[in-house]
């Protein structure tokens, strides 16, 4: 049974070529997907999607895979950029198609709806038009039209629409006649309000000038009396995106699930036990360490210790395994030890 499924036929040729290249790198490395996941910091499920063409691998995952497989990252990054452009074009075409479908569905729904039409021949049912006179009492009911009272009651009906608008505009633009809009005594009240406003403005300006003058003369004394600022402690440094624990919070946690592997981890100690390789993986970002064994067989076990804490791991199906994390203030204290199925034991030494 082949290891990889056939890539989807609808994939863009650039994306298909890039996914095929990633498959070749994994095949040449001899690593299982679980090992690729542990060493790159991206989940096994994510790598299955990347390698089967269902999702484009992010650039950081591609760079991590290049480091794990010893591949030149420059050429791989170039291929990723071409694939990323092709993927974006495909997404834009998909979004445009979906938008057209939604518009078509909306038009169909509006065309089938019968609740927005008024009585036959009267056009869409709307509210009263702005600028018209309300329906006169006793207007003919059920006609769908309002009985508009002529502005001047003349025998020729209402004035032309342009004339009505011009008259309304002139009425709004004309100044209010004395004794009408403002009422008796309105002119005197406006005068009093204006004078009061001027006096208030002068008082504000005078107060501002006095305050500025007093402040300038007393600047030295105020500076001497002002207490020295209280030093503030800096807030804890935020964790990078994807990292979910630090220090003792990481003890007993899976380094991959907590985001401590991949680019945030380095090998600080290693040893060869029989034909197996044992490593101490340390993440300064997470303040934690774990042990990893590779080229192993089912039944081999590995153990990490640091500061009196310990965690164990065992090889089950794959050739690789790693332990949960233990808190570690630095990369020199943790120690990894392996016990093989033939009874051979060995531990790491700091690099």
Q: Rounded distance, CA 178 to CA 286, Å?
A: 81
Determine the pLDDT at residue 125: 43
CATH of the domain at 85: 1.10.260.40
Strand partners, 105: none
Is residue 344's pLDDT more than 90?
A: yes
CA-based torsion, 319, 325, 326, 327: positive or negative: positive
Residue 28 lies in a domain: yes
Is residue 205's pLDDT more than 60?
A: yes
Give residue-wise pLDDT tens across range 223-245.
444 455 454 555 567 889 889 99
Domain finish residue from 64, 94, 124: 94
**Residue whose C-alpha is closest to residue 321's, from 282, 348, 294, 283:** 294
Residue 328 lies in a domain: yes
Residue 337 lies in a domain: yes
Determine the pLDDT at residue 119: 43
- DSSP per-residue codes, 230-296: PP-PPPPPPPPTT----GGGGTTS-TTTTT-SGGG-EEEEEEEETTEEEEEEEETTTTEEEEEEES-
Residue 132 half-sphere exposure, CB side, CA atoms within 13 Å? 11
Q: Can you read off the two tokens belonging to residue 111?
A: 């065309």
Residue 130 lies in a domain: no
Determine the pLDDT at residue 96: 60
Q: Can you read off the two tokens belonging to residue 200?
A: 């208030």
278 and 336 Cβ atoms separated by less than 8 Å? yes
DSSP element (H, E) containing 216: helix 186-217
Residue 170 lies in a domain: no
Residue 327 lies in a domain: yes
22 or 156, which is more confident?
Answer: 22
Is residue 342's pLDDT more than 50?
A: yes
Domain finish residue from 70, 94, 118: 94
Contact residues for 349 (Cβ-Cβ < 8 A; gap 6+): 269, 271
As for how many domains the chain has, the answer is: 2
pTM: 0.41
CB contact burial 159-187 (16+ within 10 A = b; e otherwise): eeeeeeeeeeeeeeeeeeeeeeeeeeeee
**Residue whose C-alpha is closest to residue 296's, from 322, 335, 257:** 322
325 and 251 Cβ atoms separated by less than 8 Å? yes
4 and 51 Cβ atoms separated by less than 8 Å? yes
Residue 302 lies in a domain: yes
Determine the pLDDT at residue 167: 41
Determine the pLDDT at residue 196: 66
Rounded to 5°, the CA angle 127-131-133 comes to 80
CATH of the domain at 339: 2.60.40
Averaged confidence pLDDT in the chain: 73
Domain housing 19? 13-94
Strand partners, 98: none
Q: Rounded distance, CA 251 to CA 308, Å?
A: 12
Residue 124 lies in a domain: no
Determine the pLDDT at residue 194: 65
Give residue-wise pLDDT tens across range 301-333.
999 999 889 999 888 876 778 899 999 988 888
Domain finish residue from 66, 94, 122: 94
């Amino acid at each position: 049974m082949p290891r990889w499924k056939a890539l989807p036929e609808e994939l863009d040729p650039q994306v298909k070529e890039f996914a095929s290249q990633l498959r070749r790198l994994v095949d040449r490395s001899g690593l299982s997907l679980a090992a690729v996941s542990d060493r790159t910091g991206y989940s096994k499920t994510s790598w299955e999607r990347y390698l089967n063409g269902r999702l484009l691998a992010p650039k950081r995952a591609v760079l991590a895979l290049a480091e794990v497989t010893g591949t030149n990252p420059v050429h791989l990054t170039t291929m990723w950029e071409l694939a990323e452009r092709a993927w974006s074009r495909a997404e834009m075409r998909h979004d445009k198609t979906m938008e057209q479908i939604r518009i078509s569905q909306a038009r169909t729904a509006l065309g089938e709806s019968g609740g927005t039409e008024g009585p036959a021949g009267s056009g869409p049912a709307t509210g009263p038009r702005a600028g018209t006179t309300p329906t006169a009492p006793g207007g003919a009911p059920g006609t769908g039209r309002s009985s508009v009272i002529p502005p001047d009651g003349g025998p020729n009906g209402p004035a032309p629409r342009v004339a009505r608008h011009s008259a309304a505009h002139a009425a709004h633009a004309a100044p209010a006649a004395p004794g009408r809009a403002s009422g008796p005594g309105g002119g005197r009240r406006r005068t009093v309000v204006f004078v009061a406003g001027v006096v208030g403005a002068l008082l504000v300006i005078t107060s501002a000038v006095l305050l500025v003058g007093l402040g300038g003369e007393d600047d030295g004394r105020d500076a001497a009396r002002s207490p020295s600022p209280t030093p503030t402690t800096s807030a804890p440094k935020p964790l990078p995106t994807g990292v979910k624990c630090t220090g003792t919070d990481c003890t007993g946690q899976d380094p991959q699930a907590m985001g401590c592997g991949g680019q945030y981890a380095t090998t600080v100690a290693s040893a060869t036990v029989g034909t197996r390789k044992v490593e101490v993986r340390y993440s300064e970002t997470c303040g934690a360490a774990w042990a990893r064994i590779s080229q192993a067989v089912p039944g081999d076990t590995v153990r990490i210790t640091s500061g009196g804490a310990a965690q164990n791991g065992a090889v089950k199906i794959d050739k690789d395994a790693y332990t949960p994390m233990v808190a570690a203030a630095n990369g020199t204290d943790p120690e990894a030890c392996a016990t093989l199925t033939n009874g051979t034991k060995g531990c790491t030494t700091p690099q």
